[in-house]
Amino acid sequence: MLFRSVEWFGRAAEAHDAAGEPRIARRLALRKARSLFESGRYEAGLRAADELAATENVEPELRFEAEVMVAGLLTVQDGQPRRWSDSPARKDSASSPTRSSAPGSRARSRPL
């Protein structure tokens, strides 16, 4: 059943992105990430949420929600504690960090 949710959220996000509605597309992409994790595809869900959190020009509320989700997923995954900097997308972008000009983004960009 969750497999269908993952597919649906993915298609819906792509459709809204193609229609020029990136805000809705990103929110649906975050729901897809959550569905991936809940269906047992932990790394895929974590990567999808982390990539969304690291995307430029994401509204601050959605970035915060994605970062909280990533932090929670890192905490519960396999019962092993992990660090924020160990997340998949953070490793990929570690060599070229980007800074956001949004208020409070500096505090959010520091590793937990």
Domain count within the chain: 1
State pTM to two decimals.
0.66
Q: What is the DSSP string of 75-102?
A: HHGGG----GGGSHHHHHHTTS-----S
- Mind listing the pLDDT tens digit for each residue in 79-99? 555 555 555 555 554 444 444
Measured on CA atoms in the order 90, 94, 100, 106, is the torsion positive or negative? positive
Residue 99, domain extent: 2-109
CA triplet 90, 93, 97: central angle to 5 degrees? 105
- The tens digit of pLDDT for each residue in 40-86 reads 888 899 899 999 988 888 889 999 999 998 888 787 655 555 555 55
pLDDT of res. 63? 92
